[in-house]
Amino acid sequence: MGWMHDWRDIGALGYRANEVSVADEEQPPRAPASVVVRWLREPLLHFLLLGAVLFGLSSLTRSGHLATAPSKEIRLSLDEIGQLTQLYQSQWRRPPTPQELERMVENKVQQEILYREALAMGLDKDDEIVKRRMAQKMQFLAEDVAAAHEPTTDELRSWFEKNSAKFAQPPRLSFRHLYFSPDRRGAHTRDDAEHALAKLVGQPVDAKIADSLADPFMFQDYYRDRPPDYLGKEFGPPFALAVAKLPPGSWQGPVESGFGWHLVFVDTLVPGRVPTFEEVEPDVRTAWLGEQKSLAWEKAYKGMRANYTVLLPGPPGSAAPSGGMSK
């Protein structure tokens, strides 16, 4: 590729569109700034305008006003080549050599050629993978419109106050347990656990006698700083709820789990709490953004869905389609 130059410094290049000053021109009266700003920030407006442009271009192409034959010219901008350079540098921690950059450019050209040839052959038609990907891109487009608005701290704080329960931190427990196996002890399992508890009254968590009273357990004997959800998955929800209610500092039980019966010594119990806004502000921003994206997508889809009528098959033997899912 004779046109290839040494692009190692291309990432340092910058380009700016021409700026035209209109300060001296007489401007017509404008609407109040607050109204204009609110209007321009409306996510659905952005989405619908972009959709209208894409629809218009598609209609022109189908009607013959625009050439439908794929172009045979592939033009890469300096920005695109600069992006290739930056991508290589982020992966390999050094700029690409001219030969490496040339290979990357040729790979990009190959991808574009194959894409255009596939479109010309109609390979995108009736392809569920292509449909799914295009549908995802439409959804991402609507969500990105919502992401364009950067929330203020006051907005996030107000949202947090209404949704603080989502950030509640569960209680956490550290405890030792002794296991009594129904497979070994049969109908006497609970009674054996109660007799063992009587021998452990007043004994510390690490009492030597404890191990001789119980059976081996397939998992841990000591659990440190675990939330009830974790214990629920390990032992079953009833066990987790019961242990969370036990007083710390003494042997308690018997408590039943999905494995059998247990005596439990709770070392520490850290109560659950709702953190302050300052403690979880980054998480609040992430959750707020996720909600805004979801709302923007629902609103955009509702607007698109209203323009369509869905016809479903009628009952067996009926020639007419059913209109039960119209707008």
Task: List, for residues 240-280, the tens digit of each pLDDT value.
Answer: 999 999 999 999 999 999 999 999 999 999 999 999 999 99
Lowest mean pLDDT among 8-22, 126-140, 165-179: 8-22
* Residue 320 main-chain phi, psi, to 5 deg: -85, 135
The answer to whether residue 206 scores a pLDDT higher than 90 is no
Residue with tokens 């596939």: 118
Structure tokens belonging to residue 87: 């991508």
Q: Are 98 and 4 in contact (CB under 8 A)?
A: yes
- Cα–Cα dist 176/75, whole Å: 68
**Average pLDDT score over residue span 186-207:** 92
Q: Where are the beta strands (DSSP E) in the chain?
A: 172-180, 222-226, 251-256, 261-270, 310-312, 322-325
**Average pLDDT score over residue span 38-65:** 49
Q: What is the pTM for the complete model shown?
A: 0.57
Q: What is the CATH number of domain 170-270?
A: 3.10.50.40
**Average pLDDT score over residue span 290-319:** 88
- Cα–Cα dist 31/99, whole Å: 56
pLDDT at residue 16, as a whole number: 34
Sequence letter at residue 157: R
**How many CA atoms does the CB half-sphere of 159 hold within 13 Å?**
18
Domain ranges of the chain: 1-11+71-125, 131-168+277-327, 170-270
The answer to whether residue 30 scores a pLDDT higher than 60 is no
